[in-house]
Chains A and B, each alone.
Chain A
Amino acid sequence: MALPDPTPHELSDVEASETDSPTPAVSAEGVSTARDAGSHVHVDPGASSAAMDDLRSARRRRRIGDVAWGDLAYRVYTTALACLVFAVFASGWVGDTELSAASVSSVRDSGPAWAGLFAALCVLLGVRSGTRAGPIALESADVYHLLLAPISRTRVLRRPVVGVVGYGVATAMAVGALVGSLCSQRLPGNTFEWMLSGALFGGAAAALALGAALITASRRIPRPWTELLAWALLIASVVAVAGYLPYAPLTLLGQILFWPLSFSPLPLLVVAVALSMAAIGMMTIGGLSIELAQRRTRLVGQLRFAVTQQDLRSVLLLRKQLASERPRNSSRFSRVPIRFGGRFPVFTRDVQSFGRWPWVRVLRVTVLGLGAALCLYGAWSGTTPLVLLAGLCTYVAGLDVIEPLAQEVDHPMMLASYPEPAGVILQRHLVAPVLVMVLVGCEGLLLVWALHPSVNVLAIGAITVVTAAATAVAGASISVVSEAVLDAGDAAMMPPEVTGPRVVIRTLWPPLVAVIGVTPVLLAQRAMRLGNDPIPPALTLAIPVLVLAGLVFMWVKYREDIHRTMGEAMGAKT
């Protein structure tokens, strides 16, 4: 391609004398014609806003025109059916035996604190969302065409914000009414009253959380201050739940949920505050940071797509990006001579990757490890279902430590360029994560040992640390290495009756593997109850658990070969 002559049509500077007169605008009559020197760019705000409204109307008309009404009706039908099934299931689970007078009194006393804790958690989530320009997520074209246009940003954002707040409050009211209805099954009082108070509590909690989010986003309050305030509310609520405080600020809001048991008009003040916060947030949303809005727009769009694809890996990755969780520029271990003479390049690369973790990720994995340990301690003490929570904690931590493997999977071309089979490389990436998970488990073990210093705890804890570390990495590697279900080439050929259960199994199997890793605690606890030595059963179960993890690690190595062989066999058959 010939390059043009560099000299013609030179974009020369305008003469100095010209700039002494008012700056002319490039006119709407043509970029080639300047307006006379006295003219200015001036826009009528009303006309601009009207143009924006027309643009939105045109888009809405087009969207409505493009709607496949049959599909929409089917989606509404399936959603309604799912809600109904959930309501029936929840109703059956709650039961309808009325609680004893003592239990009712206990609910009356401690219920508002628990409801307040829930509201405080909502506020914390709202504030965290607000620091990232949430809760609204605009289209990227809206950011460019509307927020950069000479129209009041409050005016531009009014409609999306009203939509988000309206939808959020309405949904929360519906859920609150359902919770109220469930409460009425076992607590004294009229069902309608319970539903009404539940709806009011849900709506107020949502308004409070959304208001906090909008004010944080629009006023651009420094993140540490708002989060500190939200955490203070949460901690006060936890202390109130524990009984060390008679009231936390949001306990008052929680009282609304239990109005049928004990009515007081005072909580209406909190409702007024919640509604005021939502209103202030909506009125001041024009102060939203465009940079954060644009970033959120891009990432939330991708996040929604990844969710529809059941692509957990992408969801986690985008979630980290949304939280501005970037790896450090240089590894903390860059000066540590972890080279092994170049004999273990994959292991070395993984260690350096861990060295680049931002502090927030280090903190998260540490907290997850401690949380898993506390859950297992709770299971050991008799609350068996906590095993599930412990397994999920190890699974989520596993997804974090598996990052180097995930990076490899994300770059298949690079993986294919290595002089060794891809499966071998991927399998080698599992070593360092298992070691890190063992370290994470050890800190949990130390915590539990500090709470309950005994040889049994130490021995069973040590066994569980090893099994949990192996299965957490195994579960996470299944999730990362398996392609998203909807991406699988044969998924499109399958009927929904097959695809549905397949999606469920694929989604549940990886965390289930992680949960299996913490089950030695259950067997040990059972033996302990029967008066037997708890260590042998834990050891006995640890062997098949480790075999399971080993099988997964082998699957990671030979997965491609297995697929190829199966494909060839199927081809030969047909």
Chain B
Amino acid sequence: MSPSSSSKSEPQKEVVRLIGVAKEYGDVGALAPVDLSVMAGEAIVLVGHNGSGKSTLLSIIAGMLEPSEGTVLVHGQPPDSIYARERRSWLPDTPVLYDDLSVREHLEYTIRMHGGQGDEPIIDDLIERLGLAEREDDLPSQFSRGLRQKAAAAVALVRPFTLLLVDEPFVGLDVAGREALLGLLEEARRGGATVLVATHDPAVISRFKRGLVLDDGHVVHDGTADSLHAYLSADVTHGET
């Protein structure tokens, strides 16, 4: 599919559009009907308690979950379309890697499947910056949780994308790895990508301009980072009283 071949493939200003998207597991509602619009180049942080629906929301946009109701559009296309898959990268909260491919092989095959040659300098760059240089030829089955997370981050970042979805990326990372990943996310955003990050880390929240708060599947706050801080402070105070 050529992006310039038809009107539907025209790059959209609106990268993500959710219209009344809800998700239920049996008789348990994970996400209440949500309407959301994310514009190109936005950097958004999703916060909320455990079970508030952050991961569900990201998984729906990533095409991993199907909404029980509502419509999801990524660049104006269904999330499981090839057009959307070409442009969206997804770093889930649990690293998913082949146990019989080394980190370097993961990166080479991933970039090739997304239009690269497999010998791009970004592979070495990511390996170096994420501190994987000494383990690049090892199998991830021998890795600790943190190393697996770094490898998964490299896989998500090595390919071209315009939308980056990241779910709890800092779990298990050491300080250096955390800083490296934050730097890479910032570079992705500066490169023009739209970035959505779900996290519990308050220090990370401050780095975003727009913040969404989810509570029990509802978007209860959508505003700037400053207003997000104010909201969260008020929420904590309210909770204490």
Residues of A within 8 A of B (CB): 1-4, 6-7, 9-15, 18-20, 22-35, 40-45, 47-48, 50-52, 54-55, 58-59, 62-63, 66, 139-141, 143-146, 148-152, 289-291, 294, 324, 326, 328-329
Q: A59 touching B66 by the CB < 8 A rule?
A: no
- The smallest C-beta distance from B170 to any residue of chain A, in angstroms, reads 11
Q: B159 touching A28 by the CB < 8 A rule?
A: yes
10 A-B pairs with least C-beta separation: A14-B41, A6-B206, A51-B112, A11-B43, A34-B191, A32-B187, A24-B192, A40-B3, A22-B11, A144-B96
- The smallest C-beta distance from A69 to any residue of chain B, in angstroms, reads 18
Q: Is B8 an interface residue (CB 8 A)?
A: no
Q: How far is the CA of A461 from the CA of B165 in the complex (A)?
A: 62
Closest B-chain residue to A43, C-beta based?
A: B115
- Across chains A and B, the number of contacting residue pairs, with CB separation under 8 Å, is 218
Q: Which of A48, A140, A144, A289 is packed against the most chain B CB atoms within 10 Å?
A: A144
Chain A binder among B47-55, B82-90, B212-220, B232-240: B82-90
Q: A11 touching B186 by the CB < 8 A rule?
A: yes
Partner of B195, one of A10, A11, A30, A42: A11
- The smallest C-beta distance from B180 to any residue of chain A, in angstroms, reads 11
- The smallest C-beta distance from A493 to any residue of chain B, in angstroms, reads 27
Closest B-chain residue to A139, C-beta based?
A: B98
Residues of B within 8 A of A (CB): 2-4, 10-13, 15, 25-28, 39-43, 62-66, 75, 80, 82, 85-87, 90, 92, 96-101, 105-106, 109-116, 118, 120-122, 125-126, 155, 157-162, 164, 175, 178-179, 182-193, 195, 202-203, 205-210
Q: A13 touching B191 by the CB < 8 A rule?
A: no
- The smallest C-beta distance from A266 to any residue of chain B, in angstroms, reads 42
Partner of A44, one of B100, B115, B126, B202: B115
Q: How far is the CA of A25 from the CA of B115 in the complex (A)?
A: 12
Closest A-chain residue to B105, C-beta based?
A: A58
Known: A23-B40, A31-B157. A59 touches B115 (CB 8 A): no
Q: A148 touching B90 by the CB < 8 A rule?
A: yes
Q: B209 touching A141 by the CB < 8 A rule?
A: no
Q: B39 touching A28 by the CB < 8 A rule?
A: no
Q: B114 touching A34 by the CB < 8 A rule?
A: no
Q: How far is the CA of A42 from the CA of B126 in the complex (A)?
A: 22
Partner of A31, one of B27, B105, B109, B188: B188
Interface CB pairs A-B, < 8 A, 6: A9-B186, A14-B189, A18-B40, A30-B187, A55-B109, A59-B100
Q: B203 touching A51 by the CB < 8 A rule?
A: no
Q: B115 touching A42 by the CB < 8 A rule?
A: yes
List chain A residues, Cβ under 8 A from B116.
28
- The smallest C-beta distance from A394 to any residue of chain B, in angstroms, reads 29
Q: A30 touching B122 by the CB < 8 A rule?
A: yes
Known: A32-B187, A55-B109, A58-B105. A19 touches B114 (CB 8 A): no
Partner of A6, one of B115, B185, B207, B210: B207
Partner of B190, one of A22, A32, A62: A32
Q: Which of A7, A12, A44, A50 is packed against the most chain B CB atoms within 10 Å?
A: A12
Q: A20 touching B96 by the CB < 8 A rule?
A: no
- The smallest C-beta distance from B92 to any residue of chain A, in angstroms, reads 7
Q: How far is the CA of A50 from the CA of B109 in the complex (A)?
A: 10
Q: How far is the CA of A20 from the CA of B115 in the complex (A)?
A: 25
Q: B85 touching A10 by the CB < 8 A rule?
A: no
Q: A149 touching B209 by the CB < 8 A rule?
A: no
Assuming A28-B122, A29-B120, A152-B82, what are 19 further A-B pairs, CB within 8 angstroms?
A6-B206, A11-B195, A14-B189, A19-B41, A23-B41, A23-B75, A23-B87, A26-B193, A41-B161, A43-B114, A52-B109, A55-B113, A58-B105, A59-B100, A141-B97, A145-B110, A148-B62, A150-B82, A150-B85
Q: B115 touching A141 by the CB < 8 A rule?
A: no
Q: B183 touching A9 by the CB < 8 A rule?
A: yes
List chain A residues, Cβ under 8 A from B185.
11
Partner of A13, one of B43, B85, B158: B43
Q: B190 touching A34 by the CB < 8 A rule?
A: yes
Q: B113 touching A19 by the CB < 8 A rule?
A: no
Q: How far is the CA of A157 from the CA of B62 in the complex (A)?
A: 19
Q: Which of B2, B4, B114 is packed against the most chain A CB atoms within 10 Å?
A: B114
- The smallest C-beta distance from A142 to any residue of chain B, in angstroms, reads 8
Partner of A42, one of B86, B118, B208: B86
List chain B residues, Cβ under 8 A from A20.
13
List chain A residues, Cβ under 8 A from B80.
290
Q: How far is the CA of A285 from the CA of B62 in the complex (A)?
A: 20
Q: B191 touching A24 by the CB < 8 A rule?
A: yes
Partner of A10, one of B62, B115, B162, B209: B209
Q: B85 touching A329 by the CB < 8 A rule?
A: no
Q: B85 touching A26 by the CB < 8 A rule?
A: no
- The smallest C-beta distance from A531 to any residue of chain B, in angstroms, reads 56
Closest B-chain residue to A54, C-beta based?
A: B109
Q: A11 touching B207 by the CB < 8 A rule?
A: yes
List chain A residues, Cβ under 8 A from B39.
19
- The smallest C-beta distance from A43 to any residue of chain B, in angstroms, reads 4
Q: B122 touching A29 by the CB < 8 A rule?
A: yes
List chain B residues, Cβ under 8 A from A45.
82
Known: A19-B39, A291-B64. A4 touches B162 (CB 8 A): no
Known: A6-B207, A26-B160. A31 touches B96 (CB 8 A): no
Q: Which of A14, A18, A59, A291 is packed against the most chain B CB atoms within 10 Å?
A: A14
Q: Which of B10, B159, B178 is packed against the most chain A CB atoms within 10 Å?
A: B159
Q: How far is the CA of A351 from the CA of B234 in the complex (A)?
A: 42
List chain A residues, Cβ under 8 A from B63.
148, 290
Q: How far is the CA of A30 from the CA of B12 in the complex (A)?
A: 23
Q: A41 touching B86 by the CB < 8 A rule?
A: yes
Partner of A328, one of B27, B183, B206, B207: B27
- The smallest C-beta distance from B5 to any residue of chain A, in angstroms, reads 10
- The smallest C-beta distance from A195 to any residue of chain B, in angstroms, reads 40
Partner of B27, one of A23, A24, A329: A329
Q: B192 touching A14 by the CB < 8 A rule?
A: yes
Closest B-chain residue to A56, C-beta based?
A: B109
List chain A residues, Cβ under 8 A from B206.
6-7, 10
Q: How far is the CA of A151 from the CA of B206 in the complex (A)?
A: 37
Closest B-chain residue to A24, C-beta based?
A: B192
List chain B residues, Cβ under 8 A from A148.
62-64, 85, 90
Q: A13 touching B190 by the CB < 8 A rule?
A: no
List chain B residues, Cβ under 8 A from A40.
3-4, 11
Closest B-chain residue to A6, C-beta based?
A: B206
Known: A19-B41, A34-B190, A290-B63. A4 touches B113 (CB 8 A): no
